[in-house]
Every structure is written in structure tokens, then in C-alpha cells.
Amino acid sequence: GAVVSQHPSWVICKSGTSVKIECRSLDFQATTMFWYRQFPKQSLMLMATSNEGSKATYEQGVEKDKFLINHASLTLSTLTVTSAHPEDSSFYICSATFDRASSGNTIYFGEGSWLTVV
């Protein structure tokens, strides 16, 4: 199946600093990438959807100035958590999709990134 790589897997940062998480599609060109946040024992919460070269579309309640998303190419999207605070500590997961011609899309996930803000 298609491979999506996410880096770093774990990151600890000090409160007030910014952290960047990278998401790469390794063996396909991703038409769209998604960023999710997942709290312990809870389901995925979609944060934003991004297409290459376009501004990301954020879900209601997600601060776009807080969570900066850059989709620079068809294989790379980045999420930057700016001025991180302890409440931003969470599991962040990216995913990517590509057009399967006539048979619809499916979505492939990265391994996730654990962010701890101290």
C-alpha cells in the first residue's frame, strides 16, 4: 500500500516555542493532505485539509495562526505549532490521499507525532 512518513515521531518542547512536524508521501503524489489531532482514547479530530499550492482549509474551532500548515509540494506538508502551550500536547497524525482514477480515493496515514509541551 501507499506509504506516508511523518517526522518526528516524538518531540518535547518548551512552552512558548514553535514545533514543526513533516508529512511526506513516499511513493505517490498526494492530491490532498489532512492533519488530525487525537486525544487519548478518543477518535481522530480533523484539523485542516490542504492541497498543494493552496491555503489550507481549517475546521471550525481550529486556530489557523496557531497551527500553520504549508503544503509546498505534492509529497510534503508541514504543520507548525506556534507558541506551543501544554494544552497543545497531543498526538498529531497526517494523512494523504490520491485520485484512484475512476474508483475513488482512499486515505493513508502517517505514523503520528507525539508532542509534549513542558
Residues that bind other proteins (CB under 8 A): 1, 4, 6, 31-32, 34, 42-44, 49, 91, 93, 95, 97, 99, 103-112, 114
Nearer to other proteins, 76 or 82 (CB): 76
Nearer to other proteins, 63 or 114 (CB): 114
CB of 83 to other proteins, least distance (A): 26
19-25, strands of its sheet edge to edge: 4-7, 19-25, 76-81, 67-73
Nearer to other proteins, 42 or 73 (CB): 42
Residue 21: count of CB within 10 angstroms of its CB: 22
Q: Please count the CA atoms within 13 angstroms of the CA of 19 that sit on its side-chain side.
A: 25
CB of 16 to other proteins, least distance (A): 26
CB of 94 to other proteins, least distance (A): 8
